Every structure is written in C-alpha cells, then in structure tokens.
Amino acid sequence: MAANPGGGSTDAGGGPVRHIPVLLAEVLSALQPASGKIILDGTFGAGGYTSAILDAGADVIALDRDPTAIAAGQDMVAAYGGRLKLTHSQFSSLADHAPESGLDGVVLDIGVSSMQIDEAERGFSFQKSGPLDMRMSASGVSAADVVNRAKVAELIRIFHFLGEEDQAPRIAHAIEKSRTEKPFETTRDLAGLIEVVTPRKMKDKIHPATRVFQALRIFVNDELGELGQALFAAERVLKPGGRLVVVTFHSLEDRIVKKFFSDRAGKASGSRHLPIAHERAATFEPIGKSMIAAGKAEAEANPRARSAKLRAGMRTNAPAEAADMSIFGLPSLASLGKLGG
C-alpha cells in the first residue's frame, strides 16, 4: 500500500507504463475538493490526485513513504505557493500530520507506483534485472532478506495468502534448495527459478513469477497492515462530513476496505439467538455506489484501471471506534524484524 501517483499497477513485475491517474473524475466527485477545504493525499507518488485537488481549490497535505517521490515533488510544492505540504511518511501515520481542526477529506491510492516499477534498482519488476529489493521506503527488510532467510513454511504462507499462488509449496521448497548453494540477489535470480519450477503454459495470461513478486512486495512493505491502520487513522481525524476515498487494485486490499466500511456502517451487536446487546452508531455513511470500477473507455486506455475499485464513505458525528485489526481477518505471517540482515 504504497505510494502511488493516482494509478497503481496490477502486475507486480510488469514493465514500464506511462503514469495516468486512475478513476480521477470519480475520485474528485467523491472527495468534493473546494476552496477552504483541507484534503490529505496519503499516497502522493507523482502527484496525480494532489494536483487535481489543488486545481479544484482545496489545500493538500500529501504523504509518501518513498523518499524519491518526496524529492521529485518539490517543484510542485513551490508551484502552489504554500497550498501543498509534502511530507515523507507512511500513510498509516496520517493522523500525525492532520491539523487539530480535522480534515475535510482523505484519499488513498493503494498500489505500486509506475515510477518504482520503472527503476530497475528498486527491484519491483522481474522484467528488469536489478537487486531483489522491493522496499518502498528504501529502508528495512528487503525481498532478498525474506527469500534467503524465511523458513519454508513461512514462504508458503506468504506466497499463498498474499500472492494467491497455487504452487506456493513447490516454489518455496525450490527456493530453500537453491539458496543453500547461492543466495538470491537479483530479480532475475528469483524469476528464473520460478520459470523453471512452474513453467508458463499456453493458457497462462501472466508470467509465472507475477504472484510471488506481488506477495513479496506486499509482505516487505506490510501493505495490508498499513492500509488497515490508515483507515482507522482517517476515521479519527476526519471532520463530520469529511470524506474518505480509497482506490485499490487487488482483491485483498479491496476486501479490507469493504470490511472496514461495512463494520463502520453501524449495526446491532450480539448473537441472533439472544437479545441485542447494544446498537453501534455508524461512523461512516456510504457515498454513491458501494463500489465503482473504471468504465470501458478508461480500462482500454489505461491498463492500470482494469482492476481498480473505488469505495468511499462520509464521516458522521459518531466517535471513532477502536483500531481493531481483527475485523479484517488477516493471517499471522512471519515477523519482518526477524528476517533483517
């Protein structure tokens, strides 16, 4: 969940794709930016959403965990004369950057940036030979650390859950055998092994390494945990009437957003066989359709948009609820801290 300039890539190892903000008109319609409003863009990237929000009259607080995105965005900061504040931060910490008076809107675009994919040295794409890295923040545990240090059972769980890879056991055991002879260092080291272990069939639409690379990227950057914490943070800092807009590109991420809005819609607690314990007040009300996908024209013009899903909600007056990650039903995976070099 990472920094994304208003457009994510659904192929973790895909090649370069020109940046085009995804669902931009729909995002603006849901956010309703205007003069006097303060919107937080938690995934600045190349500034696709941010620039459109600024042009609509609102001021923007933008965050990105990627230091290269922060550096590249300084010209935009200067161009908007104080109306844009750009900060190096993970979006799970967005509450730390909100004004005491609260925010009028929060937008999150959950996907990997085309800028990151295009840079071979970042190690996101198996179509380019580079270090097996995948760290959006350029610090911490790398994909190589995970592949070379995680136990086979941990690799299987990572590949199966985060990549939905049916051949996870076969790939994990092959990795264990190969790394005893030579540690994995580059994207081609890993992609090459996967190509041998699970060769591509004629009917396959994606490269055999796609799901494993996706799983490693999500795991290394704790993307699902980041997303869950960002949703809770937005709930705490949005004003009544404030709007939360989230664009996802993967079923796991969309499921988290869907569960969050469903949980915050207000419902009775307790068993259906027993009297209702108490009513929960809704903290968010739906905005428009429960889910918006890209239209045919946008999907044809921009490959990123094909899997994009937008969900949005408006903050009510009800107090924020506890930040309980258990509502998402995420599995327990290996500890990143124990896999570091």
Binding-site residue ranges for S-adenosyl-L-methionine: 47-49, 64, 91, 109, 116
Q: What backbone torsions phi and psi does residue 202 show, to the nearest 5 degrees?
A: -55, -35
Angle made by CA atoms 35, 69, 239, in degrees to the nearest 5: 35
Task: Give CA separation, 206 vs 11, 144, 195, 197, 202, in Å.
Answer: 8, 22, 12, 15, 10
Show the tokens assigned to 142.
């790398």
Specify whether the CB–CB gap between 252 and 218 falls below 8 A: yes
Task: Give CA separation, 176 vs 168, 184, 197, 199, 210, in Å.
Answer: 12, 10, 13, 18, 19
Annotated binding site: 47-49, 64, 91, 109, 116
Specify whether the CB–CB gap between 175 and 189 falls below 8 A: no
**From CA 130, how far away is CA 153, in angstroms rounded?**
27
Q: Which residues pair with 292 in a beta bridge?
A: 310
User: Residue 162 has what DSSP assignment?
Assistant: I
